[in-house]
Structure 1
């Protein structure tokens, strides 16, 4: 059967909503595979077999005329010049025959749409499988693999930069929607439709023939392999990537009120580098999520570049030992002050100006921090420990 039972049932329900008569869909063996009358599903329909044999409409006046058939009109359903099933309207022939051609045409349109959707899905799955092989370096002959890429319109030798785009609060929102045990499979379908709509929106911001690649990673994340011009300066590449991400994130917010965060890896000039760029994008993303950034480059990470390699329990223990959070009522305020202090290379004058406080006030707060933790932010040794502890604190 070229059309699944689920698709056939959706067609039946759509037709009934328009015609107000029971509609049945029979497969190429004359079995009813979709109907509003659930008791008839699986029954043999001799009238459908006659339609398949003749390849034209069969009108049934009496229930005694054909086995398993009721009065009504039955018509062949064709796809690519091949009869693949039969659609029938139950009712007095003189009442329902006027709907026959309309039902047949509508059904064939819906069948074709479903078939094309399935073909698109299969092609998308094949493309995703290829990209996954590329990322995992699951190939031996690079030339042969590159040739396979051309079939999908992908040039694996083109310079690219990996981005991971995460939809904020996606998991929690959909969990709240589907956790009710009364929610049916339609809510899952709605979620998949929503995700596809996000994909289409993102892809609309990819210029034609620039070979940008979009790969769903999980329910809330998407990998973007953005084509870049490696003749540009590093700053030029960064600006073009940020510009594209800004457009995508603004569109997501405008169309779906969907906030997002992006982590950006580094430029890959060889096919085998892509996995590393994705790993770096993932680290940048986690830092961006933890620190409230819309997008963040891996190259801008300092100590944070290795933070997530350290087990969470170890990070939490280090924070407890070095920052002693239980002794502070306003630890976040002190940590913000310290970050500005370190951003200005320990300059009291520059940091106090940036914080809009007097130099003596800054000195007092630094001394207070030392009294509370035993660590001096002005000490080279202690400042290293403090910055590691701050990075651990924001990642926990």
Structure 2
């Protein structure tokens, strides 16, 4: 977050780049806090101080006419009907008077932008406190949470659910795209619902929605954002004090969605995924090494395409070869080759189940 002095320096720099003149920003006490001439920072400017008091522009015709002042014009900067500072431009009056209203208006616009940005940052931090309090199941919640409107509405809701969204598109690292996605999310949540933006995730709490409505929300965010996203949804809870459980479930659903390479997953729809998720890495590797010990990673990746097509089209070689753009003989050869390396036959139900499990864990 920028300090007031930093905002003032940014204003002076921006205006200098536009009009090419020396500028000063003076606070309401008459102290120069930003200048294109660093030597003047910290000094008192009587002309600017007078502009604050009279709320009128002050023209300095000769150097030293006012204490600490040089030739130029000083304009009071007004924000929310109050003078918040003075912007001064140095030079001969006839040469600089044309810039007067321009620098005054532009300064006021930049002050307003800085205020809005700070307000948005503060609001975001405020909501992060609420979300963290709720999903971490803190026995004693912060005063920010306890007095918030969101807390009251979440507490009174019929059901609550936590959603975690991760961006898998590298482009999301660009701040403007991240903001775009967050704006889409904000535009699709209802009163009392809350979403926060962390470094790698969006975490949110939805209230009083059913399965279909939540799924529609996910689709809308995904389609409107036009960015590759992965969604994990916890189970619906009637007691808001169990939001931490929904959060942990959403994390598992998100992880499982990435494992099986789909865009969204509800925890309640994970089926055997709930069991597989908790298998230790050591056990997974032991199992996979037994199945794929004679197969390269590249061969596994190629076979996955065949396997899932085989599953989808119930083993129809004709349909599989068409969708994968493979000649039927080529497809048959690749299946046979993989069968020989794993000693597992796709046509055998028990072998098929083992391969399905192995590919899910891979």
Provide the C-alpha distance between the structure 2 equivalents of 1:355 and 1:132, rounded to a whole number of angstroms.
53
State the Cα distance separating 1:265 from its structure 2 match: 1.9
Partner of 2:315: 352
Matches within 5 A, 1:86-105: 86-105=86-105
Partner of 1:148: 147
TM-score, normalized by length of structure 1? 0.73
| 8 Å CA contact retained: 1:264, 1:298 | yes
State the Cα distance separating 1:9 from its structure 2 match: 2.6
Partner of 2:198: 217
Provide the C-alpha distance between the structure 1 equivalents of 2:257 and 2:196, rounded to a whole number of angstroms.
20
CA-to-aligned-CA distance 1:200-243 (integer Å, 9 cap, x gap): 2221223x53x33211132x3212322344xxxxxxx3332222
Residue 248 in structure 1 maps to residue 221 in structure 2: yes
Q: Gaps (5+ residues) in structure 2? A: 322-330
Say which SS state the counterpart of residue 156 (structure 1) adopts: helix
| 8 Å CA contact retained: 1:3, 1:111 | no
Provide closer, same or farther for how the CA distance between residues 137 and 319 of structure 1 changes in structure 2, counting only shifts above 3 A: same
Partner of 2:156: 157
Provide the C-alpha distance between the structure 1 equivalents of 2:145 and 2:35, rounded to a whole number of angstroms.
48
| 8 Å CA contact retained: 2:52, 2:83 | yes
Provide closer, same or farther for how the CA distance between residues 316 and 90 of structure 1 changes in structure 2, counting only shifts above 3 A: farther
Provide the C-alpha distance between the structure 2 equivalents of 1:62 and 1:263, rounded to a whole number of angstroms.
68
Residue 261 in structure 1 maps to residue 241 in structure 2: no
Provide the C-alpha distance between the structure 2 equivalents of 1:306 and 1:59, rounded to a whole number of angstroms.
78
Provide closer, same or farther for how the CA distance between residues 40 and 239 of structure 1 changes in structure 2, counting only shifts above 3 A: same
* Corresponding residue pairs, total: 351
Residue 197 in structure 1 maps to residue 180 in structure 2: yes
State the Cα distance separating 1:141 from its structure 2 match: 7.8
Provide closer, same or farther for how the CA distance between residues 357 and 72 of structure 1 changes in structure 2, counting only shifts above 3 A: closer
State the Cα distance separating 1:277 from its structure 2 match: 1.7
Matches within 5 A, 1:1-396: 4-140=4-140, 148-150=147-149, 154-158=153-157, 159-170=159-170, 174=173, 191-206=174-189, 208-209=190-191, 211-218=192-199, 220-229=200-209, 237-253=210-226, 258-310=227-279, 312=281, 314-326=283-295, 330-335=299-304, 351-353=314-316, 356=319, 372-373=341-342, 378=348, 386-393=355-362
Provide the C-alpha distance between the structure 1 equivalents of 2:204 and 2:300, rounded to a whole number of angstroms.
37
Provide the C-alpha distance between the structure 1 equivalents of 2:320 and 2:202, rounded to a whole number of angstroms.
43
TM-score, normalized by length of structure 2? 0.78
Provide the C-alpha distance between the structure 1 equivalents of 2:294 and 2:304, rounded to a whole number of angstroms.
11
Q: Gaps (5+ residues) in structure 1? A: 175-190, 230-236, 345-349
Provide closer, same or farther for how the CA distance between residues 271 and 124 of structure 1 changes in structure 2, counting only shifts above 3 A: same
The two structures, once aligned, show a CA RMSD in angstroms of 3.8
State the Cα distance separating 1:290 from its structure 2 match: 3.6
Provide the C-alpha distance between the structure 2 equivalents of 1:95 and 1:145, rounded to a whole number of angstroms.
53
Provide closer, same or farther for how the CA distance between residues 65 and 315 of structure 1 changes in structure 2, counting only shifts above 3 A: farther
